[in-house]
Amino acid sequence: MYLKSLALRGFKSFADSTRLDFEPGITVIVGPNGSGKSNIVDALTWSMGTRSAKDLRGGSMSDVIFAGAGSRKAMGRASVEITIDNSDDSLPIEFTEVTVGRAMFATGENAYTINDVECRQLDVAELLSDTGLGRETHTIVGQGRIDAVLNARPEERRAFIEEAAGILKHRRRKERALRK
């Protein structure tokens, strides 16, 4: 399994349709300060369903929508699509390529798709959860995160370990079942 491509439109500084293709192995993104490198990482986090504005370095969720720059007007919609190569069947879905899409409107409404079929945020979370991807996982290590792990309270540190061991998903399911 590897990330094949990332397509953005109206997301943070990426007003125009932008597509990045990746090869298996390591990719390094370089560029001047403020050119959008971290915004690319934010797009990955966001497409996988995060509901935390803090994860995205913003004050509110709608801060991800292109807010205008220079003579360009603000946009009313942000969208990101990630395409994952699934030829090794890492994802529990019978497709060799899986595209997960998220769009957000200025009203704050979100829309999710898996291979162009509308779905819930929960479907995306479940699809990605066994892979270590998705929200509430720690595949994406941001600046300051190492310090956060070292300084975490014991219960928080336990959650990191549970996630790495793949049992967080079952805990979430149990919590949902108990709420019903």
Q: For binding to Mg ion (CB under 5 A), which residues are involved?
A: 37-38
Q: In the 8-state DSSP scheme, what is residue 52? A: -
- Please tell me whether residue 63 binds ligand ATP under the rule CB under 6 A: yes
Closest approach of ligand ATP to the CB of residue 147, in Å: 17
- Please tell me whether residue 70 binds ligand ATP under the rule CB under 6 A: no
- Please tell me whether residue 69 binds ligand ATP under the rule CB under 6 A: yes
Q: In the 8-state DSSP scheme, what is residue 66? A: -
Place of tokens 């915004």: 39
- Please tell me whether residue 66 binds ligand ATP under the rule CB under 6 A: yes
Single out the segment in contact with ligand ATP by CB under 6 A; choices: 16-24, 64-72, 87-95, 149-157: 64-72
- Please tell me whether residue 55 binds ligand ATP under the rule CB under 6 A: no
- Please tell me whether residue 85 binds ligand ATP under the rule CB under 6 A: no
CA–CA dist 22, 67 (Å, integer): 27
Q: Is 38 labelled as part of a ligand binding site?
A: yes
Cβ distance to ligand ATP smaller for residue 63 or 85: 63
Q: Is 37 labelled as part of a ligand binding site?
A: yes
Residue choice 38, 90, 113, 121 for contact with ligand ATP (CB under 6 A): 38
3-state secondary structure of 39: helix
Give CA 12 to chain center in angstroms.
14
Closest C-alpha to 143, from 38, 29, 45: 38
Single out the segment in contact with ligand ATP by CB under 6 A; choices: 34-42, 103-111, 120-128, 153-161: 34-42
Residue choice 17, 35, 87, 115 for contact with ligand ATP (CB under 6 A): 35
43-65 burial, b at 16+ Cβ within 10 Å, e below that, comes to bbbbbbbbeeeeebbeeebeebb
List residues bridging with 72 in a β-sheet: 69
Edge-first strand listing for the sheet containing 2-9: 18-21, 2-9, 77-85, 97-105, 110-114, 117-119
Q: Which residues are known binding-site members for ATP?
A: 32-39
Task: Report the interface residues with ligand ATP, using CB under 6 A.
Answer: 12-13, 31, 33-39, 63, 65-67, 69
Q: Which residues are known binding-site members?
A: 32-39
